[in-house]
Amino acid sequence: MTEEWVTLHGGPLDGEEIPVDPADPQPGVAMVADGCAIPGGRSWYEPDETGRWRWTGDTP
């Protein structure tokens, strides 16, 4: 896997840098986060139309 490092924007992980697979046809990551609105849940980030990885909400 080739990885690319991206910076997360918004939500509880704002400013964190993580590796992602640029070849993933449906990019997005669900990350465990202390600031998640759902206890024990994950915060979801995905690239917007400009390629910037933005928080889109929380999931159980």
User: Would you mind telling me the total number of residues written for the chain in this entry?
Assistant: 60
Through-space distance between the first and last CA atoms of the chain, rounded to whole angstroms: 28
Rounded distance between C-alpha atoms, residue 52 and residue 12, angstroms: 16
Parent domain of 13: 4-59
Q: Give the chain's domain count.
A: 1
Tell me the pTM: 0.88
Query: By the 8 A CB rule, do 16 and 26 touch?
Result: no
Encode pLDDT of 48-57 as tens digits: 999 999 999 9
Q: Which of 7, 6, 31 is nearest to 20 (CA)?
A: 6
* Alpha-carbon distances of 12 from 2, 22, 42, 54, rounded to whole Å: 26, 23, 10, 11
Encode pLDDT of 23-47 as tens digits: 888 889 999 998 899 988 999 999 9
